[in-house]
Structure 1
Amino acid sequence: MAPRILIVGLNYSPEHTGIAPYTAGMARALREVGWDTEVITGLPHYPQWQVREGYEHSGGRREAIDGVPVLRVGHPVPHDAGQIRRLGMEIVFGLRTVTAPWGKPDVVVVITPALFASAIVRVRAALTRTPVIAWVHDIYTAGLSETGAAKGPVTRVMRAVEGTFLRSCEGVVVIHDRFSDYLRRHMGVAGERITTVRNWTHIAESPAVDTDALRRRFGWAPEDVVVLHTGNMGAKQDLANVAAAARVAERDGAPLRFVLVGGGHQRPQLQELASRTPRFEVLPSVDDDTYAGLLRAADILLVNERPGLTEMCVPSKLTSYFTADRPVLAAVEAQSPSAAELTAADAGIRVEPGDPEALVAGAVSLHEEWITTGGATHRGGRRYVREVLSRGAAVRSFVSALHKLRPVAAERREPAAAHS
């Protein structure tokens, strides 16, 4: 009989940015290699923070996505970035998940940073003697601290909760070795329980697209040097810095055009800025094929982070950026995982975050170097994807982490079977 795995995560397909593509991709891959995989997830809402059309009343809805059985449970979706409302969404999702039918999985995988939902699920798993793997994409309390969403005492309490939860799990999967170091040093998670599974790229390496036609479609002139940022528009992206850079470019006569594509809590404010800022525009989320084409049609791909972020996350957009064969400009801290990834891939340059003058200077310098060398520099992204960020390597690492728990699952089932 095939081993059964239940994956619980707030985000899933048809969301196509953030954590969802990796959860959906891994669920499909595990089913392909022989695991009987099922998913409990929430209502698709990210990054727009509103429920996707057609899913407004889909709590309790069952569907199959790429052959994976999926159960959706209902929950509120906050329309602002308030931590209390997001916490409420997590708790409702967690409570509805633990009251949903699970069957008898051999392993439960919970996706964080939905910390409180994951902790609630952990309680039910403990009652049924089912081992749990926490798949950590962002470190919850590091994010609260670095974005200023919570103050010192609250952060310390939350760190204690997060540490207790992670230490209670039989396995922890992280997306970067920096996360592994953090969990060992700051949360006391045993190193032997941690497995690093890198996020892989989920777009085609060479999309068939006419980039000139795509640039015309979006109104980009041939002389525009398009600096493109994709994905979530929230506090940690600090995208007002990009609007400020556009004003600097306009003042200095630099041929830069800063473009944001995606959604998020700060999108309305950024749209308002775009309405009165030349060389700055905000576009809605696009389908996967258009997204892949936009990455190739741009001249520079941008990662912009709030100053002070050194631990909390590795932007998922980097895996797609590296495939697009365009230079990457990262306005991030030198000690951040994003900077480490950029250096390891040899795919672009870093400038100081929160400094629009530096952002403009970096974009101009990077584009001039790219033109002067005929695009011969900062082209290590595709190599890095093939060697480090492949889907196959991620699946093998994840399956290895699951196999470590199979003896635990079997041992825990035996007492229950003996008394049946």
Structure 2
Amino acid sequence: MGQRVLFIGLNYAPEHTGIAPYTSGMAQSLAAAGWDVGVVTGLPHYPQWQVHAGYERGHQNRDIINGVPVERVPHPVPGNAGLARRLGMEIMFGLRAARARWNNPDAVVVVSPALFASVIVRLRAKYHGIPVLAWVQDIYTAGLTETGSAGGFATRAMRAVEGRFLRSCEGMVVIHDRFAQYVQRVLGVDPARVHTVRNWTHIGPSTHMDPATLRERFGWPMEDIIVLHTGNMGAKQDLGNVAAAAARADQSGAPVRFVLVGGGRQRPLLEELAAHAPRFEVLPSVDDETYSALLGAADVLLVNERPGLTEMCVPSKLTSYFTAGRPVLAAVEAQSPSAFEVASADAGMRVPPGDPRALLAGALTLHGQWVESGGTRHSGGARYVREVLSRDAATKAFIAALNAVRTKGHAPTRTTTIATLNN
């Protein structure tokens, strides 16, 4: 068996949106490449913030998923995922993950968000001389700053924690060059320790569901322009903007229907808005096959972000959007990673965030350009996936990052100490 790597992160399969598909996919790819892979994770709960049916909260669960052994540790899952409750969940997960069976890994990969859990895990790894690779999917404190979800003192304190944690790790992986620039410039991380590994698409085109049949199933008239947003419904998505654009479509008679698919903290409010808006619809999360089919049945695929977001995230939905080959409308800041990705892929157009009038006009314009060009304009997404966002390229780059940190462990007696701790 090859070198042993342990992934520790809150999210893993069977969650099929957000971070989980990438952690699950990379663990499986490394196992296929000959690595001895283990996973310590939490209870599946995202994006609904409810524990999935069949997973008990009172004891540990062990399973093998696609050839990878997975250990789940219990932790609270707050229905209202505010900052304080989320920190409580992270800390409890981190404490229990640090006490789980690690089986003497050559390196530990900690997945963030779950910053405070990662800090706790780092302490155990450092004690035993195990090198740590931090895999940063979202920059924690950039998100706090841009969403205003914490006060100035709390944000500064968390930035100090995040910076010290990342600087202490033997290496880190970020998902975009913009993230790499931020952690170096703002958090003081040594550029030599930072590796950019792009997220890949984990959804393939649907081959079993006819788009026209699917539209009929959901009651979408063929003459309607379906603008589809998928994934989390939280503060940073600012989906009230989409509801307002749908109201404008209804008032003006524009043949545009805005559809949201997924879950999250804002979903109940959005459902209330949809109950009184003929051109606004909220659907629950769906399985991967139906998800792929929905992307292919839509006319425009939407990324909507809160005004002011320029650093904090690269929406994972973009990789799936590009694979679907439909035009992408990005209601985002011009300096955001999302705007950069859509422009780089030549896959759509950007409109200002927080502007319902611009959102509706953009949907009409983008669809018109797509139809007039016979589907050739804004069609670079599939090419971009092949050339930039492939899973093979991500796996090779991740292995290079792991190999760079594996040599930095420094405690030759860690086998004995870990075995003692786990007995």
TM class by shorter chain equals over 0.9
1:167 aligns with 2:193: no
Aligned residues: 418
Contact 2:128–2:414 at 8 Å: present in 1 too? no
1:100 positional shift: 1.2
Report the counterpart of residue 87 of structure 2 in structure 1.
87
1:19 aligns with 2:16: no
Contact 1:2–1:34 at 8 Å: present in 2 too? yes
Aligned with 1:265: secondary structure? coil
Report the counterpart of residue 136 of structure 1 in structure 2.
136
5 Å matches for 1:242-391? 242-391=242-391
1:56 aligns with 2:56: yes
The one-letter amino acid paired with 2:113 is P
1:6 aligns with 2:10: no
1:154 positional shift: 1.3
1:416 positional shift: 7.4
Report the counterpart of residue 228 of structure 1 in structure 2.
228
Per-residue deviation, residues 17-71 of structure 1 (Å, max 9, x unmatched)? 0000000000000001011000000000000000000013363110000000000
User: TM (normalized to structure 1)?
Assistant: 0.98
The one-letter amino acid paired with 1:132 is V
The one-letter amino acid paired with 1:408 is K
5 Å matches for 1:57-206? 57=57, 59-205=59-205
User: TM (normalized to structure 2)?
Assistant: 0.97
The one-letter amino acid paired with 1:210 is D
CA distance in 2, matches of 1:389, 1:415: 37
1:208 positional shift: 3.2
1:414 positional shift: 6.3
More deviation, 197-206/157-166: 197-206
The one-letter amino acid paired with 1:77 is V
Per-residue deviation, residues 320-374 of structure 1 (Å, max 9, x unmatched)? 0000010000000000000000010000000000000000000000011111111
CA distance in 2, matches of 1:94, 1:282: 34
Per-residue deviation, residues 99-151 of structure 1 (Å, max 9, x unmatched)? 11111000000000110000000000011110000000000000011011012
The one-letter amino acid paired with 1:82 is G
1:400 aligns with 2:400: yes
More deviation, 219-228/201-210: 201-210
CA distance in 1, matches of 2:181, 2:381: 25
CA distance in 1, matches of 2:226, 2:58: 39
Contact 1:58–1:72 at 8 Å: present in 2 too? no
Report the counterpart of residue 412 of structure 1 in structure 2.
411
Contact 1:108–1:133 at 8 Å: present in 2 too? yes
Aligned with 1:120: secondary structure? helix
CA distance in 2, matches of 1:174, 1:206: 30
Which consecutive residues of structure 2, in runs of 5 or more, have no partner in the other structure? none
Contact 2:305–2:332 at 8 Å: present in 1 too? yes
Which consecutive residues of structure 1, in runs of 5 or more, have no partner in the other structure? none
Contact 1:43–1:59 at 8 Å: present in 2 too? no
CA distance in 1, matches of 2:207, 2:230: 17
CA distance in 2, matches of 1:405, 1:205: 36
CA distance in 2, matches of 1:236, 1:73: 28
Aligned with 1:214: secondary structure? helix
In structure 2, do the counterparts of structure 1 residues 363 and 300 end up closer, same or farther at CA, with 3 Å as the change threshold? same
Per-residue deviation, residues 356-405 of structure 1 (Å, max 9, x unmatched)? 00000000000111111111100000000000000000000000001112
More deviation, 99-108/352-361: 99-108
More deviation, 176-185/99-108: 99-108
CA distance in 2, matches of 1:57, 1:79: 14
In structure 2, do the counterparts of structure 1 residues 416 and 263 end up closer, same or farther at CA, with 3 Å as the change threshold? closer
The share of aligned pairs that are identical, in percent, is 66
Contact 1:332–1:338 at 8 Å: present in 2 too? yes
Contact 2:179–2:311 at 8 Å: present in 1 too? yes
CA distance in 2, matches of 1:207, 1:13: 23
Contact 1:6–1:109 at 8 Å: present in 2 too? yes
1:196 positional shift: 0.4
1:80 positional shift: 1.1
Per-residue deviation, residues 211-262 of structure 1 (Å, max 9, x unmatched)? 1111111111111100000000000000000000000111111100000000
In structure 2, do the counterparts of structure 1 residues 58 and 26 end up closer, same or farther at CA, with 3 Å as the change threshold? farther
Per-residue deviation, residues 166-195 of structure 1 (Å, max 9, x unmatched)? 000000000000000000000000001000
Aligned with 1:277: secondary structure? coil
Aligned with 1:413: secondary structure? coil
Contact 1:30–1:37 at 8 Å: present in 2 too? yes
The one-letter amino acid paired with 1:412 is A
CA distance in 1, matches of 2:41, 2:415: 28
More deviation, 58-67/313-322: 58-67
Task: Spell out structure 1 runs of 4+ moving beyond 4 A.
Answer: 414-417
In structure 2, do the counterparts of structure 1 residues 415 and 230 end up closer, same or farther at CA, with 3 Å as the change threshold? closer
More deviation, 254-263/50-59: 50-59
